[in-house]
Amino acid sequence: MRLDLHLFRIGGRRFAFAPVTDSLAVLDEPGWETLSAAAAGDSPDEIRSLVARRHGPEVAARCLDELADLVTAHGLDRPDPLAGEPVPGAPDPGADWLPSSPESPVLKSLCLNVAHDCDLRCRYCFAGQGRFGATRGLMTPEVARAAVDFLLDNSGGAPTCEIDFFGGEPLLNLGVVRETVDYARRRAAEADRRVGFTLTTNAVALGPDERTYLDETMDNVVLSLDGRPEVHDRMRPTAAGRSSQAAVLENIKGFVELREARAKRAEGNPACDYWVRGTYTAANLDFAEDAIYLARQGLRNLSLEPVVGGPVGSGGWGLGSGHLPGLAAEYVRLADFILDEFTAGRPLRFFHFVTEPEAGPCYAKRVRGCGAGREYMAVTPNGDLYPCHQFVGREGFRLGNVTRGPAAPDGSDPAAPAGSALGRRVGGLWLGAKPACRSCWARYRCSGGCHANGHGVTGSLLEPDPLGCSLLKMRTEVSLYLQARQTL
């Protein structure tokens, strides 16, 4: 029997990861040889003979006992529903895992781009520096209300829905944010339901009043800060071309102080819901230093993500495959810093290293992925619908508009995007629909990756971005390394 295992080494240590059960084991040299042979499909007798040749019969026998224990304890012989190729003409097995059909999606959340404008001019901005390639504009209260109605009317009566305020910069339209929150709460309460709120901000306009409002209202807040002053200011100047890091850092620290105080007061002391999120580029390949800098500023929930796109080489800030070895070492350096902080009683959360072995997402969630175009959509200031915030403004991906009226005489409903061929195509995306992903060892951690990134790089919704794949696998290995070191 061939075991589905991914074996890797980091820092002189050896690890085995089983994708189907999300299991992790640490190995020594005989253990490595044993599991390598098991992954190659060798029989127990073949494994015994192989290991005994180098390490003796007692070690070989023990390795086989421990292998049997691992298989039993972690269910390594559990069948993988994705094994094998899909049968042409047969019903799509993905239908069993999707919570709703692509023809009739049941929304869970909406991203409201309340502002297609921004008070920064970030050089790497995927949103065209806030305006997504179109005219700068703000969402009106009428469009926002229509979006709330659209969400609540198309969410299948689910007890909880979510609205994410995004942009551009949502604090440029805080008045509409406030009105939308009030309206959504009112409408939800009428139906005995609840709407949760999150907001992503560059924190430039995050003054004391804004901090208080966000702390009292938002379930989660994402605050953008790249790290060290020279790193942040290189890529995130203000609209007037000035530095923004110092003011942004001060505002974020003020907000985090409120949030941490709230968490301490709350019964049961729940996790403090904020993330300080930065972007690293080829201009700061030593990004672990930025994470360390942010941690020493007292910011303990961090995310640093690789830039998407951009010029590669000759001083460009875009990332290419040549950067991968150095980035791998940098992730390990960051993991070792987090481990030191953990040991010193100063826990630090780095988003991509946070895994919940006992409380992670279920198999169904891992198989169906992010839900873009099905459970999650984005709305522009004029009410246009897109599969997600990354698709906004992309030619050919507009799904409809939340402000349109009832169904047209021909039966088509412009306010119901699912009926379109595009809606079915995007809404039907799941892990198994991506051929290269079906057999990848990281498939149940990645879930097929970002559809928008893949399409942007390859031109196909079914093919992942190769660089993104490499980075994700690298990060996943390091997160497993960190998990093992924190556990043992």
Partner 1 sequence: MTLDHSRRDQALGIEPGPRHIIPVSGGRLAPDRDLAKCRDCQVSCQSACKTSCTVGNQRCPK
Q: Would you say the C-alpha torsion 246, 251, 254, 260 has a positive or negative sign?
A: negative
Length of the chain as a residue count: 488
As given in the structure block, the two tokens for residue 298 are 């007292």
Question: Does 282 interact with partner 1 (rule: CB under 8 A)?
Answer: no
Beta carbons within 10 angstroms of residue 270's beta carbon: 9
As given in the structure block, the two tokens for residue 252 are 């974020």
Q: Please, are residues 172 and 205 in contact by the beta-carbon 8 Å criterion?
A: yes
Question: Does 472 interact with partner 1 (rule: CB under 8 A)?
Answer: yes
Question: Does 314 interact with partner 1 (rule: CB under 8 A)?
Answer: no
Q: Which one-letter DSSP state was computed for residue 309?
A: S
**What is the nearest approach in angstroms of partner 1 to the Cβ of residue 58?**
8
How many residues lie near partner 1 (CB under 8 A)?
Answer: 98
Query: How many CA atoms, within 13 angstroms, populate the side-chain half-sphere of residue 317?
Result: 18
Which of positions 198-227 make contact with partner 1 (CB under 8 A)?
A: 198, 200, 220, 222
**What is the nearest approach in angstroms of partner 1 to the Cβ of residue 264?**
21
Nearest to partner 1 of 60, 414 (CB atom):
60
Q: Which of 323, 389, 398, 455 binds partner 1 (CB under 8 A)?
A: 389
Nearest to partner 1 of 51, 143 (CB atom):
51
Q: Which of 261, 354, 407, 408 binds partner 1 (CB under 8 A)?
A: 354
As given in the structure block, the two tokens for residue 394 are 């992309």
- Listed in sequence order, the residues at least 6 apart from 183 whose beta carbon sits closer than 8 Å to its beta carbon are 144, 145, 148
285 in helix, strand or coil? coil
Question: Does 453 interact with partner 1 (rule: CB under 8 A)?
Answer: yes
Question: Does 388 interact with partner 1 (rule: CB under 8 A)?
Answer: yes
Q: Which of 116, 366, 434, 455 binds partner 1 (CB under 8 A)?
A: 366
Phi, psi torsion values for 78, nearest 5 degrees: -65, 135
The phi-psi region of residue 89 (left if phi > 0; otherwise alpha if psi is between -120 and 50; otherwise beta) is left
Q: Which of 133, 207, 360, 466 binds partner 1 (CB under 8 A)?
A: 360
Nearest to partner 1 of 58, 209 (CB atom):
58
Which of positions 421-450 make contact with partner 1 (CB under 8 A)?
A: 444-447, 450
Question: Does 295 interact with partner 1 (rule: CB under 8 A)?
Answer: no
Question: Does 305 interact with partner 1 (rule: CB under 8 A)?
Answer: yes
Which of positions 46-85 make contact with partner 1 (CB under 8 A)?
A: 58-59, 61-63, 65-67, 69-70, 73-75, 78, 80-81
Using alpha carbons only, what angle is made at residue 409 by residues 406 and 414, rounded to the nearest 5 degrees?
45
Which of positions 226-265 make contact with partner 1 (CB under 8 A)?
A: none
- Candidates 95-103, 247-255, 320-328, 392-400 — which segment interacts with partner 1 by CB under 8 A? 95-103
Beta carbons within 10 angstroms of residue 382's beta carbon: 16
